[in-house]
Amino acid sequence: MAGQRLMVGFDGTELGGDVKFLIKDLHVGGLILFTRNIASPEQVRHLCRSVQEYARSCGEPALFIAVDQEGGTVARLKSPFTEFPGNAHMRGRREAVEFARISARELLDVGINMNMAPVLDVAVDPATSIMQERAFGSDPQWVSWLGMAVIQHLQEGGVMSVAKHFPGIGRTTLDSHLELPFLETSAEDLAAVDLVPFQDAIEKGVAGVMLSHICYRSLDDRRPASLSRKIARDILRHQLGYDGVVMTDDLDMGAVKKHHDIQPLVRQILDADIDIALICHRSPDMEAAFEAIRSFQSMSPASRRSCERSVGRILRLKKAYLGTS
């Protein structure tokens, strides 16, 4: 069960010894691809087929194979894949549908089954927002309208959609890749604006939700969303009723890596009812995270049941999209 709760990055463009170790020995549930893993459509197709065949030969469930393909500034797949100008440049729903349909077809064609998109952050003040070029805009209804089109047509095309970055980083000016941002916005303002697209995504049946590495003082003044029971469990799970797969943003980002060792970090994630820990760069943190998950699930009957629920959500999603259980 422990490895199913890890999604990891790796080096190289083919199924090598280290990727085999991640699949066979750490039993990882998913891989995420970056530019360093991509050379051509044919190479990506061979890589995805190879890792899935290897997982199957090891008796493992099919893998999530994910990529950040938002369009614009964050698009790992370049020409000859179709390149789009990005969310900030979409003028209406037709463009959102076109992006999602073409992206789903091209991703699925090479074996990628999960897109870390759409960005549902509301850039309340586009001039200062760190998400200026990645957000659909400053109006939560507009963000939701375009975001729901992307979710619907990615998933109708067979690709799992992951909405990000809950509960919204559009107000943020500091880059969480570098340091931990603190947001002073009231809970009422967050609910009226930032949460709106995520509520709609939950109703739309979005496959996954990614949590931000932002500390929202009005919601939890001690922990960023990616480590917070108050945000992940109490708000996302209980208040909004989301029973899909929840994952962290990359645990290699400065917002958390500069402030936490990996094992206590992972224990906080598990305690918050978060399903998947995302680690995007190959390091001993992956082995340490695996051991932390194994340790957590053996701590008590309650922690064991919590792990079973999380793995149940993961396997349910894999069965729905990948035909595995």
Cβ neighbour number for residue 39 with a 10 Å cutoff: 12
Whether the per-residue pLDDT at 297 is higher than 90: the answer is: no
- Residues serving a catalytic function are 177, 249
- Look up the CATH number of the domain holding residue 129: 3.20.20.300
Number of domains in the chain: 1
Are 129 and 175 contacting, i.e. CB atoms less than 8 angstroms apart? no
Which amino acid is residue 178, in one-letter code?
A: L
Statement: residue 104 has pLDDT above 60: yes
CB 69 within 8 A of CB 107: yes
What pLDDT, in 10s, does the model give residues 33-48? 999 999 999 999 999 9
32 three-state secondary structure:
strand
Average pLDDT over residues 231-245: 97
pLDDT at 174: 75
pLDDT of residue 177: 79
Helix 17-24 / helix 41-57 crossing angle, nearest 10 deg: 40
What digits encode the pLDDT tens for the residues 63-74?
999 999 999 999
Q: Give the mean pLDDT of 300-319.
A: 94
| Cα 62 to Cα 112: distance, rounded to the nearest angstrom | 12
Per-residue pLDDT of 167-216, as tens digits, reads 999 998 877 777 788 999 999 999 999 999 999 999 999 999 999 999 99
- Would you say residue 246 has pLDDT above 60? yes
Instruction: List the domain range (segments joined by +) for residue 18.
Output: 3-322
Closest CA to 289 of 26, 59, 23, 100: 26
Q: State if pTM tops 0.75.
A: yes
